[in-house]
Amino acid sequence: MLSAYFFLYLYDMLTFLRKLRRSFIDSSSAQKYILYAIGEIALVVIGILIALQINNWNESNKDLQKEQKILIQLKQEYESNLSQLEEKMSMRSNIIINSMEILDYIDRVSKPDVDSLTNYIGEVLLDPTFDPVQNDLFSSGNLRLIRNENLKSLLTNWSSDIITVQELEELWQRMVPDLFLPFLVNTGLNRDIMHNIWKDGKNDIWLMDKSVIERMSIGFTKNPPAHLSSEEIEQLEGLLANAITYNYAGNLQSETLRGRIVEIIELLNQEIK
């Protein structure tokens, strides 16, 4: 709007100078005409420079408004990521605690009771997969709008930071269906464990919506094994040791990632006007 008024003013000035030039020509005053010509050129150049400056200011103001919208959206996304990451860390801690409880129980008794084992093992089968909200800063080219260099650097490294956590998660994700579940089926423990999971409403292991609580009864097996063999106990100990290792390492990496998210949110709060 400002540039439109300026061009209207410039048009009026040029119209006035043209009339002045005609009077100079009619009066045959060459010196005055030259001075007029120089003035007219200077006026046009100054007008163009001012118009460019106004246009640059308008574009800069638009970029600032876009940046604020992006920053607010990013804050919402990273607060959601932080909440989800902390939930997954809590799930891994639960896996570790229950695995340690089973190993401690095995170490204390000569023949571990199968019923005692099944009460704990269901909690070990949790799936703490971190699936963060991904923004389109890179594909859209909007990363350039963010002026804070520290924030821009953290956002640039975000994808690689996630990979370090997800690589450890994949080890545990493969281990459960490939090794843990076949072991439970082969030892006759699986039905009782699945029954405990469903009767206690702990089915959120498999559900997208973690708020859904469903209970059902599969029923306990009619012919449960009284005890596991020494070979089966050794195999279970190995599986539990891996469960502790993968999920403890996953939490160590997640703690670093959590620090990055907190830093990003703090920088976003500083930049949001």
Helix (H, G, I), strand (E, B) or coil at 40: helix
Domain boundary among 12, 35, 57: 57
CA distances from residue 18 to 24, 44, 46, 59, 80 in whole angstroms, order as listed: 10, 13, 17, 33, 65
- Please answer whether residues 273 and 68 qualify as being in contact, where contact means their C-beta atoms are separated by less than 8 angstroms: yes
The number of folded domains in the chain is: 2
Same domain, 152 and 244: yes
Tell me, what's the pLDDT at 2?
47
Tell me, what's the pLDDT at 259?
94
Same domain, 158 and 40: no
- Please answer whether residues 235 and 182 qualify as being in contact, where contact means their C-beta atoms are separated by less than 8 angstroms: no
Same domain, 29 and 104: no
Instruction: Dump the DSSP string for 74-101.
Output: HHHHHHHHHHHHHHHHHHHHHHHHHHHH
Domain boundary among 24, 42, 57: 57
Domain boundary among 11, 27, 57: 57
81-96 pLDDT, tens per residue?
999 999 999 999 999 9
Same domain, 155 and 29: no
Same domain, 124 and 6: no
Tell me, what's the pLDDT at 213?
62
**Residue-range definition of the domain harbouring residue 30:** 2-57
Distance of CA 209 to the CA centre of its chain: 19
Q: Angle, nearest 10°, between helix axes 230-271 and 114-124?
A: 30
For the chain, the residue count is: 273
Same domain, 29 and 151: no
Structure-block tokens of residue 75: 């804050």
Selection from 223, 235, 215, 234 nearest residue 192 by Cα:
223
Same domain, 50 and 76: no
Helix (H, G, I), strand (E, B) or coil at 28: coil
Low-confidence ranges of the chain (pLDDT < 50): 1-2
Structure-block tokens of residue 143: 């990363």
**Left if phi > 0, otherwise alpha if psi is -120 to 50, otherwise beta: which for 133?**
beta
Same domain, 86 and 103: yes
Same domain, 33 and 151: no
Same domain, 116 and 198: yes
pTM of the model: 0.73
Same domain, 223 and 244: yes
DSSP 176: I
Same domain, 7 and 114: no
